Structure 1
Amino acid sequence: MSDSRSEPTRADDRPAAPARLRNLPTRLLSLAAIHSDRRVNEELARVDARKWHYAVLAALDEAGPASQAELSSRTGIYRSDMVAVLNELADRGLVERAPDAADRRRNVVTLTGPGLRQLRKLDGLLADVEDEVLASLTPPEREQLARLLATLVYGRGRDG
């Protein structure tokens, strides 16, 4: 074990976390996630958007019109929260809801032109945040990190 006087210090001269904490992958992953999440939320809030808005717009762009239940499944947003998210997006003219011709009890949600433009804007904003958060990594390291995180989240051989 090393002598405590030789322990690294933080930039503000406080002692760094104990080595077992500094090197614990789950802690490092949590700290990175907290920082990343904070930056994403700050930048989205700056343009009056939220992560759920982005998730719905991206799902509609990728797979086309969908029911509220399908969007809930695709995005991981609880059905009870989906209505509020869709209300916000519809009030801004970013999505349209219309009764499903095959089942009038369901609504079909469609991405609008302004919704697509907002999605492109958010794509750029999130790319900038990603560049900031991952600035200390080289492009190959970023690709490796993305592959490793996908393996952790989705398991081996599965896509998200």
Structure 2
Amino acid sequence: MDTEHRTPPQRLRTLPSRLTNQAALAANRIVDRALAGAGVRRYHYALLAALEEYGPASQAALGLRTGIDRSDMVATVNDLAERHLLDRAPDPRDRRRNVISITAAGRDRLAHLDRLLAAAQDEFLAPLPAADRRALTGLLARLVEHHGGAH
């Protein structure tokens, strides 16, 4: 098909909700590709980032903080524990639950993933100068906050 047949109607090309969705799809492809190249998924990164920033926590608390569903949390914790990127230990206050903490290897891996994601962000935002990148990030954060989402 030629380009003319691929151009959506003007109404669609000017809807902020559609443009945001189209941009998000592109961003997700770029980020997923970067993480896959490192052998991880977004949940891995989110979990390591939460542990590094906020310290040890229960799986339930981590699920709330990261938005990872309980069943996905168990699989993610198991995967990262097998890679020695986090530790899982019984909670001394409640033996029925585990406390998860990041290991030194997990911190090293997170630093590597941070560099990969910084490059992915640069790829996604390539057509924008620095001031526009900051403005876009601020505007998106305001929209997410207004609509009840977490940053």
What interval of TM-score do these two structures reach, taking the shorter chain for normalisation?
A: over 0.9
- Partner residue of 1:135? 126
CA RMSD of aligned residues (A): 1.5
Deviating above 6 A after TM superposition, structure 1's stretches of 4 or more consecutive aligned residues are: none
Instruction: Choose between structure 1 and 2: higher helix proportion.
Output: 2
Asked whether 1:99 is paired with 2:101, we answer: no
Who is 2:116 aligned against? 125
Identity value in percent: 51
Q: Aligned residues, how many?
A: 148
Matched-pair contact (CA < 8 Å) for 2:144–2:150: no
Indicate yes or no: 2:34 matched with 1:13: no
Displacement of 1:159 in angstroms is 7.0
Tell me, in whole angstroms, the C-alpha distance in 2 between the residues paired with 1:73 and 1:49.
Answer: 21
Q: What's the CA shift string for 1:49-94, capped at 9, x where partnerless?
A: 0000000000000000000011001100011210000000000000
Higher RCO by CA contacts (8 Å cutoff, separation 6 or greater): 2
Find the aligned partners of 1:25 and 1:159 in 2 and give their Cα distance: 20
- Kindly indicate whether residue 47 of structure 2 is the aligned counterpart of residue 53 of structure 1: no
Gaps of 5+ in 1: 1-11
Where does structure 2 lack aligned partners over 5 or more consecutive residues? none
The match for 1:4 is: none
Q: Which of the pair has more CA radius of gyration?
A: 1
Aligned to 2:63: 72
Quick one: which amino acid aligns to residue 11 of structure 2? Answer: R
Q: Deviations over 1:84-136 (max 9, x none)?
A: 00000000000000001111111000100110011000100000000010011
The equivalent of 1:6 in structure 2 is none
